[in-house]
Amino acid sequence: YRGSPYCPAAPDLDNPNHGTRNGTIAQSPAGGRITGLVSHGDRVYVFTGGNVWVLVGDEPIDFSLQPWANTPGCVAHRTIKSVKDRLLWLAEDGVYMAVERQGIARISDRVKNTLDAMTDAERAAAHAVVCDERYFLMWPTGSVVFDLRYPEPTWSKNTSWNWRTSVCSVPYAGKRSRIFAGA
C-alpha cells in the first residue's frame, strides 16, 4: 500500500489520498496470510509463512510483488529486523539472515535444539530487538542472542529473559543503548 490508509479496490492514482492494492501473494502457490513487512534499504519486503516477496516499482501504477529468492517466510512479524546490510527473521525452521550481495542463509544451527523446542504458540509470540549489534530473539519461555559483530554466527543464551515485549533505546549524547522490556 502507498499513500493514506484509504486503499479502495479501484483507487484514483491522481488522488494523493488513495493507496493501491496488490493481490499477487494471495494468488500464488506460496501465498497466504501476510505475517510481516519490513523496509530494508530502498525496498519493502513482504513476508508470509511460506515465502518472502519484494515490492518492485517506482510508482503505484507499476508496483508488483516478486518472489525473493527461494526463502522461507516468517512466523512472527516482530522478529524481522533490518540491521545495516542485513535482514534477519525467525522462520519455521530457524533464524535466517540475508546479507546484501552475499545471499541468504539459516544462521541458527548452533541453537537448533533450543529453537526446535519452541511450540507454535511460542514462535508466534516471539519478538526481537537489535541492541549494540546483537540480535536478541525472545519468546515466552526463553531467549537467545546472535552477535552480529563477528564474521561467524556467534550465539548465546539468556536466562530469565521471558519478556512479552521489548524495545531498544537509541543511543544519544554519549549514552549507550538500553533494552526496556515488559513481562
Q: Which three cell numbers stand for residue 170?
A: 537509541
Q: Which three cell numbers stand for residue 20?
A: 493501491
Low-confidence ranges of the chain (pLDDT < 70): 1-13, 15-32, 60-61, 159
> What is the structure's pLDDT at 42?
82
The distance from CA 10 to its chain's CA centroid, rounded to whole angstroms, is 30
> What is the structure's pLDDT at 28?
52
Q: Measuring CA to CA, which residue among 143, 136, 145 is closest to residue 162?
A: 143
Q: Where are the alpha helices (DSSP H) in 60-143?
A: 112-116, 120-124
> What is the structure's pLDDT at 2?
43
> What is the structure's pLDDT at 22?
59
The answer to whether 76 and 35 are in contact (CB under 8 A) is yes
Question: Beta partners for 131?
Answer: 134
